[in-house]
Amino acid sequence: MKLGDKLQGNLLYHTLTVCIMFCFFLPVASASITSDSYWNIIIVQDETHVTLTDISNKLNDSKLIKNWGNGIWTASCIYSKNSTVYINNSEVTELRMTGQKGYTRILYGYNNNDKFKIHDVTITGWNETSNTYEHRGSIYLYNSELYNTNFQYAERINIYGDIQGIIHNVTTYKTRDFWVEGIKNGVIHDIYIQDSSGNSGAAFYVKNTIGMNIYNVKVNKTDRVGFYVFNSTGGTFHDISTWRSGNYLTPQTGYEGIVFSSGRYNYGYNLSVNDSGWSSFCPGGAEDGSTFRNVSVFNAGHNGIDIHPASNISVYDSIIGHSPSNNILLTNGNGALGGCNNIYFENLTLLGGGFLIGDDVHNVTVKNSIIQGNGNTVFNSSEIKFQNMTITTPPGYAIENNVIKFTYIKDGAYTYNGTIIDSSVDRIDSSKAINTRIINTNFSRFYSCNDAGIYRYLDLIIVDGTGTQLPDVTIDLVNEQDESKASCDGNGIQKTHFLMYNGRTCLPINNRAESPAILHIHYENSSYSETYSSKATITTPDGRTVSLSGIIPDSSWYREDPNVPTYTITAIIPEDSTSPQIIGFAPSTENPFNPGETKNFRVWTDEPLTEMDWYVDGKLVSEGSLNYTWTITKDESVIKFEGSNANGDVSKSWDVWGTGNNSSGMIVFFPENTLLFKNTGESVYFNVSSSRALIANWFVGGKAVLNDSTSLTYSWDTAGVYDVNVSGSADTDSFSNTWKVNVTEPEEPPSENKSIIMIIPCENVAPGAQFDLGIKIDPSTSINGAQLDILFDSSMVSASSVTEGDFFKQSGSSTIFNSGAIDNIAGTVINIYGYILGPLNVSTPGTFATVNLTAGNRTGIAEFNLSNVLISDASSKSAPYTVTNTSVLIDTAPVMDPICYLKSIDEKSALTFKVIAKDADGDELILSASDLPDGAEFNTESGNFSWIPAVGQAGVYTFTFEVSDGYLTDSENVTVTVNKLNNPPAIDSFEPLDGSSFSEGERIGISVNASDADGQALNYSIGIDGIEYSTENTYVWETDYSSSGNHTIEVAVSDGIEKVTEQNNIYINNYHPRWDVNQDGVVNILDITIIAQNYGSTSTVKPYPRWDVNQDGVVNTQDLTLAGYHFGETVV
């Protein structure tokens, strides 16, 4: 798109016819006024004050100018040369410009001394031959006055020169251009341009100016750019609006609304563009250092704001709506004009979509902005920061597009150093990015990621031993696993050294550069991530230090408000002491504690401890660690740490108050009204709720219909009066409530005789969400108009708009529709009506109107009713109708966390877990369980479940846990397999009995008898003095004369799973030794002779005879030797 700046046409060769309507005459002074009939020009020279009447009287030449009695007509160009020519309502009401078409210069000045003073007149381009309007004549003004003047069908209005005169209150209609060029420090205001068809490329064109102040400009309908500022410096432009620069429905018309190009340090505010054929607001073309506020863009034909390229541009407090390409585009384009760098946005509202930033764009910051609809895409750029940005997904938009993407469209063209701070977005995609920092941002998941870090704000307080905060300290942070992945400040800039002015790390609102954020998780790619810990070293001005290591952030550190810490670490400068000291603890009791969430309680000490115990409300819950993670379960608890070593003891307590836990215990019944009127077939929803555990049973007409449920939905097929009763108990208190329901047959006329007007039912809506309700008409006869009011509960919802449906447009006819008057205090929209223009009617069902509403923060059932309904039939008479109203549940269903539990346990083994649920609305939640096995216990207040299956309870069990907010529920089934418990074998008998005695040489029979309740095969083992002798259940021990003494006999019985053992102790007497052959107590010649008498004999049967002293079955020299060795001994 190019704007021409060359003047076309010729100063001479053209004519002007001026029709003067006299109001009154002024005295005529002599004037230096000449003419040149050859060139057809009137030259006014060196005159300080001359009027058209003066010119006519001076020349007295009817070929050039003539008084016709009812006006003065001239056929010449008037050239003010070093003069001042007055044209105003003192003598002229309308000045008509004739002559040839095109850029005919009719009123012309050449420099700042060639002046015209024009005011309170109408100047019109005119075809004298056909006596009709036609584009004729241009006006070139230097240092002139132009105000309170209307132009029609003029070719161009040009304001030139270093010095500008007075220019204001100018209206143009079907005039081609309003051109301002070369002026310094001028003021132009209150310019209204209607139906412009500019030749210069813009309806209002500002070029090569310095310090201009242009305001209150309206451009309505042009086939060119609406307002264009080119190569201008230091100007102020405000309250500028354009409407229909081209047509956004026909983007090929290709023209912008407001353009700033090639200028410097301009300031614009209150700029509005509606309906542009191409992009709407375009500070580009190498514009540099300019600032814009309160920009409003709707119905763009391409991009809402289009910046390519430009540098050092700031845009504040603006709203951009539903642009078909991108609400905001930033791109370097071809890079020929210096790039796209240092762009700043703050306080934006973008409806329908966000940013597209790409092709070598650098240093962009977007702060404090809201996007409703699709998110942002960044490619092939660097240093792009989104801070305090919220992206929501209104109805009609896909959740997967609620995303911030750092990507590329060309292979290898990565986006570097993207930063997201204090924002809320559903998803983040950093798949084609390097060094993405995500600081204190709420998002559900990554699409994919590459080299992305999750950072959490660190809130740290430094105190001395008395608890006094220490000012002017410093904190140094080190990543304990990888120092290259360092901390950063609240702006996302890598930094490890921070100042703590008042003894506490700075909050982002006070000083982002000194507000530290430490790395929580770093994602190398979508499949690999690593969690990091940091070490903080705090140094006081006098050189004292304390270091806290192993600081690991978690998700509980997230701050919905970045300036309200959720997890605070207190560091303590240690004192001189021989005992251990606590040098740090977390969290602070100032932090929020919400029931159901977890907090990591921990302490740091200056010495290792040998004993470390954690207590909750006096009960020991953990041992051996300096930290304990606790799930907050009630309003008030005391968390205590006790530790010690050989040098002494330390302790720390937290008195914690939960926030948000409602423990009133009130029992609430719904509906509140106990007398109800319903039609047959119409369902009624009943509910009882409390923070306490409820057991509720339901009765209809005295008959039990549902047990152990907090809600009942019921309908009746037969008219009558019915009692609905709920009764049960809450803890130890009983309750009962009865509703009386009057059920009648609906008194409906035949459908062919009565039209139906209804509010189309809507499913439940989340608090704060927008939703639509359609009003449908099903006519029983031909109709051509309808009116109605809508009544709603203003404490539950608010209405924002009413739009026409397709009902009356079905025939293709024109319609009139009034959206009514919305009163969100009274809860009404009154006087909604619509009708067909012309003799047409409709008889086919359709949507008459759609009401756009926003749910409030309360949960509950919002009723919607139609009243004052009037339907006009084809004869403009009232048609009969029936009304069907509706209700909408305003609520977000509670969500139960996945239950973690053992899927398989044995009989007599404990199964415990906790059921946790959350509710986005903050509703009081009610937990319940069904189909619990015998012996199982479930605490509906704490969510704790416990069960020890008894012997005989083997099998598969499925039971259900449910959470309800009084309206909606969530549930999860738990399936547990209980394994049958093995019965170990039992030893029924074991011989010899414990304590039995035997003599050497006796045969000792060992036996064991056992049984198994499960009937399993048994294995045996018999051992003596630790040595296994048999794997059978019996064994015979052949003792000899070496067997005397105490012995242990052990038997073991196994069923292949478990083994049982039993031991018996026996004694074997030390009988006469073998060398006392005759057993007389003395070893002498008598024993020797017995051996000698049997010398050479053998024996094969045990026990061998005593003269076989060594018991080897042969009596020989060895037996004599043994007896001889002991000769003379006395046996006791």
C-beta separation of 341 from 315 below 8 A: no
For position 97, what pLDDT does the model report?
76
At 13, the pLDDT band (50, 70, 90 cuts) reads very low
The C-alpha atoms of residue 388 and residue 519 are separated, in whole angstroms, by 19
For position 939, what pLDDT does the model report?
94
Burial degree of 603 (CB within 10 A; 0-12, 13-18, 19+): buried
The C-alpha atoms of residue 359 and residue 331 are separated, in whole angstroms, by 6
pLDDT in tens, 540-599: 999 999 999 999 998 889 998 999 899 999 999 998 888 999 999 999 877 877 777 888
Q: Is the pLDDT of residue 175 over 60?
A: yes
Please state the separation of Cα 569 from the chain's center in Å.
27
The C-alpha atoms of residue 383 and residue 341 are separated, in whole angstroms, by 10
How high does pLDDT run on average in the chain? 85
Question: Of 32-41, 386-395, 446-455, 993-1002, where does the model show the most confidence?
Answer: 386-395
At 115, the pLDDT band (50, 70, 90 cuts) reads confident
For position 225, what pLDDT does the model report?
92
Q: Is the pLDDT of residue 934 over 90?
A: yes
Query: Which of 1041, 1124, 1038, 1116 is CA-nearest to residue 1107?
Result: 1116
Query: Picking from 68-82, 141-155, 811-825, 950-964, which range would have the lowest pLDDT averaged per residue?
Result: 68-82
The pLDDT > 90 percentage for the chain reads: 40
Burial degree of 297 (CB within 10 A; 0-12, 13-18, 19+): buried
User: Mean of the pLDDT values across residues 240-247?
Assistant: 86
For position 461, what pLDDT does the model report?
94
Q: Is the pLDDT of residue 23 over 50?
A: no
The C-alpha atoms of residue 766 and residue 747 are separated, in whole angstroms, by 35
CA of 447: how far to CAs of 223, 427, 429, 521, 525, in Å?
44, 6, 5, 16, 11
The C-alpha atoms of residue 902 and residue 987 are separated, in whole angstroms, by 35
Q: Is the pLDDT of residue 750 over 50?
A: no
Question: Of 150-164, 245-259, 424-438, 504-518, where does the model show the most confidence?
Answer: 504-518
pLDDT in tens, 1008-1030: 999 988 888 999 999 999 999 99
User: Mean of the pLDDT values across residues 764-781?
Assistant: 89
Q: Is the pLDDT of residue 101 over 80?
A: no
For position 1079, what pLDDT does the model report?
80
The C-alpha atoms of residue 256 and residue 271 are separated, in whole angstroms, by 13
745 vs 806, higher pLDDT? 806
Q: Is the pLDDT of residue 615 over 50?
A: yes
For position 665, what pLDDT does the model report?
58
For position 782, what pLDDT does the model report?
87
User: Mean of the pLDDT values across residues 838-845?
Assistant: 84
Q: Is the pLDDT of residue 787 over 90?
A: yes
User: Mean of the pLDDT values across residues 755-766?
Assistant: 84
The three-class DSSP label of residue 361 is strand
For position 482, what pLDDT does the model report?
92
For position 8, what pLDDT does the model report?
27
User: Mean of the pLDDT values across residues 1084-1098?
Assistant: 89
pLDDT in tens, 525-545: 877 889 999 999 999 999 999
For position 654, what pLDDT does the model report?
86
Domains and CATH numbers, the chain: 32-175 (no CATH), 452-657 (2.60.40.10), 668-744 (2.60.40.10), 755-890 (2.60.40.680), 895-979 (2.60.40.10), 985-1069 (2.60.40.10), 1082-1130 (1.10.1330.10)
For position 253, what pLDDT does the model report?
62
Largest CA distance in the chain: 192
User: Mean of the pLDDT values across residues 141-145?
Assistant: 87
514 vs 839, higher pLDDT? 514
pLDDT in tens, 676-704: 888 888 878 787 877 677 888 999 999 99
C-beta separation of 259 from 225 below 8 A: yes
For position 15, what pLDDT does the model report?
36
Q: Is the pLDDT of residue 308 over 50?
A: yes
User: Mean of the pLDDT values across residues 799-804?
Assistant: 92
| Contacts of residue 705, Cβ cutoff 8 Å, sequence gap at least 6 | 698, 699, 712, 714
Q: Is the pLDDT of residue 103 over 50?
A: no
At 19, the pLDDT band (50, 70, 90 cuts) reads very low
User: Mean of the pLDDT values across residues 388-400?
Assistant: 85
578 vs 94, higher pLDDT? 578
User: Mean of the pLDDT values across residues 7-27?
Assistant: 32
For position 664, what pLDDT does the model report?
45
Query: Picking from 28-42, 214-228, 279-293, 1076-1090, which range would have the lowest pLDDT averaged per residue?
Result: 28-42
937 vs 1071, higher pLDDT? 937
What are the two backbone dihedrals, phi and then psi, of residue 130, each rounded to the nearest 5 degrees? -90, -5
410 vs 419, higher pLDDT? 419
Q: Which residues of 146-165 are buried (b: 16+ CB within 10 A; e: fewer)?
A: bbebbbbbbbbbbbbbebbb
pTM of the predicted protein model = 0.58
C-beta separation of 737 from 670 below 8 A: no
- Per the listing, tokens 């539903």 go with 322
pLDDT in tens, 188-237: 999 999 988 867 779 999 999 999 999 999 999 998 899 999 999 999 99
810 vs 488, higher pLDDT? 488
Q: Is the pLDDT of residue 16 over 60?
A: no
